[in-house]
């Protein structure tokens, strides 16, 4: 999959990796925005040891690797596209969503969110080394070799990776780097990418679940409520995808709230 908006260009390099380019002259057109970015770039880059492996800043073009897993294989199960906020830098380097957390332990996304929600149960030896475990998980997702009532796809809303936590963590860290105006501009390009992804993977018979505030607010139709954590925790973020209103859009609590996230995810996808 490849495509572009006015400032974001991306191309699929393998089954998970997206290679992206952003024209910083378009994203940061004012002198103050450029200066703000330049002042913060070194600190952002050093916030995760894997950033140096996935980012390149060449003149006024930011090149980086990101992630997207959309299986080509199909079966009779309805598609369910799970949209996360932005990738963790170390997971991009490892080549798989939610590759690990903490001291290289298995990420809660697989064990404490998707599995108890009845959304996805992968069969594997959890004692395998991280690299082999990620490779096996990726192969199973691409081959549709798992227990689930759905055919699962994974993507991120903001393609720019960041540290999993701390000052530069998550989408908030990206906003800190480029500023709120630039983030809103970037969201327009990212929304177009998501819509293409939905057309390819879901068609007209499936659902989209978002786990993050920016993703919900950008992808919801105008009649749907704005994101509030309380609404997400109560399972009341229900709407339709912008410009594709036949597709249900469901919002769940963020993955850091594993219990509430799993509970609401189960409720929403079972409806």
Q: pLDDT (tens digit, 9 = 90+) per residue, 117-156?
A: 999 998 877 788 888 888 999 999 999 999 999 999 999 9
Q: What pLDDT is attached to residue 20?
A: 96
Which domains, from first to last, does the chain contain?
Answer: 68-270 (3.40.470.10)
Q: What is the pTM of this model?
A: 0.95
Query: Each residue of 224-248: pLDDT tens digit?
Result: 999 999 999 999 999 999 999 999 9
Three-state DSSP class for residue 60: coil
Q: What pLDDT is attached to residue 181?
A: 97
Region of residue 144 (left: phi > 0; alpha: psi -120 to 50; beta: else): left
**Strands 8-12, 55-58: pairing kind:** unpaired
Q: What does 76-89 look like in DSSP terms, one character per residue? A: SSPEEEEEESS-BH
Q: What pLDDT is attached to residue 211?
A: 97
Query: Each residue of 6-32: pLDDT tens digit?
Result: 789 999 878 899 999 999 999 999 999
Q: What pLDDT is attached to residue 270?
A: 81
Beta pairing partners, 55 = 64
Q: What pLDDT is attached to residue 271?
A: 77
Give the helix ranges, DSSP H, for the chain.
24-27, 31-45, 51-54, 89-94, 108, 130-143, 170-178, 180-201, 213-219, 229-233, 258-270
Q: What pLDDT is attached to residue 5?
A: 65
pLDDT at 4 over 60: no
Region of residue 98 (left: phi > 0; alpha: psi -120 to 50; beta: else): left
**Strands 79-84, 207-210: pairing kind:** parallel
First to last CA, the chain: 31
Identify the band that residue 213 occupies on the pLDDT scale cut at 50, 70 and 90: very high
The predicted model gives 40-58 an average pLDDT of 96
Q: What pLDDT is attached to residue 1?
A: 57
- The Cβ of residue 231 has, within 10 Å, a number of other Cβ atoms equal to 16
């Amino acid at each position: 999959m490849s495509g572009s908006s006015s400032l974001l260009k991306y191309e699929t390099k393998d089954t998970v990796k997206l290679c992206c380019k952003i024209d910083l002259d378009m994203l940061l057109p004012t002198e103050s925005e450029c200066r703000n970015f330049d002042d913060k770039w070194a600190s952002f880059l050093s916030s995760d040891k894997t950033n140096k492996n996935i980012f390149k800043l060449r003149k006024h073009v930011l090149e980086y690797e990101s992630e997207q897993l959309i299986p080509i294989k199909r079966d009779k199960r309805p598609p369910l596209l799970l949209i996360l906020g932005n990738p963790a830098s170390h997971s991009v380097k490892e080549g798989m969503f939610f590759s690990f957390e903490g001291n290289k332990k298995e990420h809660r996304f697989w064990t404490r969110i998707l599995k108890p929600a009845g959304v996805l149960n992968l069969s594997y030896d959890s004692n395998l080394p991280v690299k082999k475990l990620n490779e096996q998980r990726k192969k199973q997702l691409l081959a549709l070799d798992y227990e689930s009532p759905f055919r699962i796809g994974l993507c991120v809303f903001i393609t720019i990776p960041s540290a999993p936590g701390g000052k530069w963590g998550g989408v908030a860290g990206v906003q800190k780097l480029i500023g709120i105006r630039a983030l809103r501009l970037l969201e327009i390009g990212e929304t177009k990418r998501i819509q293409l992804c939905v057309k390819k993977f879901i068609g007209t018979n499936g659902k989209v679940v978002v786990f993050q505030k920016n993703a919900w607010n950008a992808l919801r139709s105008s009649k749907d409520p704005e994101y509030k954590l309380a609404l997400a925790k109560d399972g009341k973020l229900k709407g339709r995808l912008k410009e594709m209103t036949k597709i249900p859009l469901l919002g769940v609590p963020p993955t850091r709230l594993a219990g509430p996230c799993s509970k609401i995810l189960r409720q929403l996808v079972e409806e």
